[in-house]
Structure 1
């Protein structure tokens, strides 16, 4: 049975309500948005025939082009193409996938610089604040950099043909705009100072980088205070950075001025106490260092007096031995020149290229006392070296040799004025009695040979 409908005169006459298939009426001048068009494809269709879609000749296999464009690509390909859209980006890809320009991304970037300087800078400032709240200090600092750069960008010149009324309105707007710019600039400088400070206090980074971050924090705080001399955060952060660099006078000044602005600020009070404690600690270290240096100088002077009183000659060379450890000439009481003197002694066995080292040979002791426990030596296979069968020789200051009596105290050997200590060390040549004469002749021959 047919139905009768009252239709508008301009209704499409081709629409038959009695027909089982109905078509949608569309106004002649109305265009369907591309995003709603069933023929639009979100991803490019493959032209090489390598489609993942079923054969259209199969029942139920036909599908709209939009769905076909998705079915033609693998999941990885779809994710990769979606990542080039700013809305779905998980990693930054500034190309279109074929080395060309990513138009959507460039358009989104351009939007960031649309508007007045205050609007552009304010946008970057808000993004920096979001990163700072997430403790992403590097990203936050970059956004504050962009905000400050936007505020320093050149102003677009006004058109004088706009008329006096428009010019007056523009001037009023410029005054409000300038005020807004100053507020944003102050906030960006002090927030960027926080980024530098937090990066300096992090667990990573070389000492040089940490110092650079602290200095950058101080510079940004100074820029903040040039804009607003009453910014308490600038005084606090500047003082914190100066304290980290041990610039204690500057840190104390920053705290003092900050407290003159806000006398009840608890953070500045606590920081001021830390600065005072650090200053006291460094002063204590400096006093201890001066005392050590003074004592060292006094000990050196006392030792020089003791050596002179004993007629002991000393000489230093350009290349002193490096393996003496803590062995050195010293007095039993370092500030008493009359106390017992100890000297490092090197026992040389020139015929076998062997040595023994006595780190503290007391001036009252004899060579025989030390040879008694040193000899015999393990490398002496022939048994030539015993306390009774050896002779000792010491080189003189003039390059000759003098026989050192084994039963003489060391003070007697050194006090003769012929022997000298070279680099705080006395060298004694130890030889078997039967081989001593030949070795002495060889020593003299080497000395005569130029």
Structure 2
């Protein structure tokens, strides 16, 4: 049988094999010395996306190859020794012994890639070359299957790349690389590998199915990305409108690098955070400095008064002397220079803030509540403390 007849026969045999079988993976029709130079150039231009990583082009685990080579007996020709390893791997793969099958294929690759030739010389060089290429392609593509089963997805892509270097039309290599790349979340590369395979065999059902799965995953990822983009865009608009609302109301704000953890309590506009006409709401805290106590008000509207919130906070459970009553306390807020101003209990918060004397720091309104009888002494203590600092 001539080279052309042998190639046609092998090509026909390969086309009849399902993608997930490990037997009879067939290589190109011609040995290396008989390849057409133009075909080689074309194959470089159409390199699959996942193989454009330079690390894939010359990859091989040298230590594993050397270990495998030392364990082999040098009997028969190189092609016969490699074929024996391949057949052992096929039997192990059919029995789902993936680790052993992987080792058998690695042994075959060791024979095929060894620089030292200790095997018998073949009677027919051309037939030997064809068998070597066929077995090399098969060992790589079948070891890729083992790596898929063992969830070694990166290694599976490397083996597929090696198989495609031998035969750029190996649809099993495209299928298995697409599977591995999908598992790795590399969707553009996975889609490209499936597309390359379908260009060779448009009616290949496994490739159609993996292409569909990749398309579904891609749509899901795109939907998540779009949702995130829209959320980020909305958050930016909300922040911009809030800033404009504060400026329109002449309210001074400042953010420090020591902002307290307010959890989900934030300065915001309600009911519509995208409308400057909505009501401003602030997280606030009532501080009782003479008794080292405090009350947190999650939502203090700009239209609310201090008296409104004190009306439900009082009476205080720890106020055994009944010093904290609405008519018997004074309220104070810090101004921009660190001093104090007395805040009217019945004034809307917006009126207090728009005076420009009060600064909202880290989005939190702080209001000091002091019994009127102790207010003068406490103010003097605060002034003295400020001078020392």
Give the TM-score category using the shorter length: 0.7 to 0.9
Could you say what secondary structure the match of 1:356 adopts?
Answer: strand
CA contact (8 A) 2:122 2:128 kept: no
Deviation string 1:244-277 (CA, Å, 9 cap, x unpaired) is: 2332222222222212221221111122222222
Q: Structure 2 vs 1, CA of residues 430 and 139 (structure 1 numbering), >3 Å: closer, same or farther?
A: farther
Residue 232 of structure 1 deviates from its aligned partner by 1.3
| Deviation, structure 1 residue 336 | 0.8
1:177 aligns with 2:128: yes
Q: Is the 8 A contact 1:221 1:238 kept in 2?
A: yes
Give the paired residue count.
Answer: 319
What is the DSSP-based 3-state SS (H/G/I as helix, E as strand, rest coil) of the residue aligned with 1:388? helix
Q: Does 1:376 align with 2:309?
A: no
Deviation at 1:175, TM superposition (A): 3.2
Matched, 1:330 2:281: no
Q: Does 1:193 align with 2:154?
A: no
Does the 8 A contact of 1:299 with 1:334 survive in 2?
Answer: yes
Of 124, 145, 167, the match for 2:85: 124
In 2, Cα distance between equivalents of 1:300 and 1:273: 40
Mapping of 1:7-18 within 5 angstroms? none
Q: Secondary structure at the match of 1:325?
A: coil
Once the two structures are TM-superposed, the CA of residue 133 in structure 1 deviates from its matched residue by 2.2
- Equivalent in 151, 154, 157 of residue 112 of structure 2: 151
Q: CA deviation at 1:218?
A: 1.4
Between Structure 1 and Structure 2, which shows a larger proportion of helix residues? 2
CA contact (8 A) 1:117 1:153 kept: no
Shift of 1:449: 0.9
1:447 to 2:359 alignment:
no
The TM-score with structure 1 as length reference comes to 0.67
Q: Alpha-carbon deviation of 1:176?
A: 2.6
Distance 2:160 2:117 in 1: 30
Query: 1:447: how far off?
Result: 0.6
Question: Mind listing any 5+ residue stretches in structure 2 that lack a counterpart?
Answer: 1-69
Higher relative contact order (CA 8 A, sep 6+): 2
Q: Tell me which structure has the larger Cα radius of gyration.
A: 1
Task: Give the Cα separation in 1 of the matches to 2:318 and 2:84.
Answer: 85
Give TM-score scaled by structure 2 length: 0.77
Q: 1:286 to 1:448 in 2, by over 3 A?
A: same
Aligned-CA RMSD value = 2.0
Q: 1:96-132, CA deviations, whole angstroms, 9 ceiling, x for partnerless residues? A: xxxxxxxxxxxxx966444433333333323322332
* Cα distance in 1, alignment partners of residues 228 and 121 from structure 2: 67
- SS for the counterpart of 1:219 is helix
Secondary structure of the residue aligned to 2:327 is coil
Q: C-alpha displacement at 1:394, in angstroms?
A: 0.6
Partner of 2:203: 264
Judged with a 3 Å threshold, the aligned counterparts in structure 2 of structure 1 residues 299 and 192 are, in CA distance, closer, same or farther, namely same
Q: Distance in 2 between matches of 1:147 and 1:111?
A: 9
When residues 373 and 301 of structure 1 are mapped into structure 2, their CA distance, relative to the original with a 3 A threshold, is same
2:231 counterpart SS class:
helix
SS in 2 for 1:314: strand
Q: Map 1:243-392 to 2 at 5 A.
A: 243-322=182-261, 324-332=262-270, 333-392=272-331
Structure 1, unpaired ranges of 5+:
1-108, 159-168, 201-212
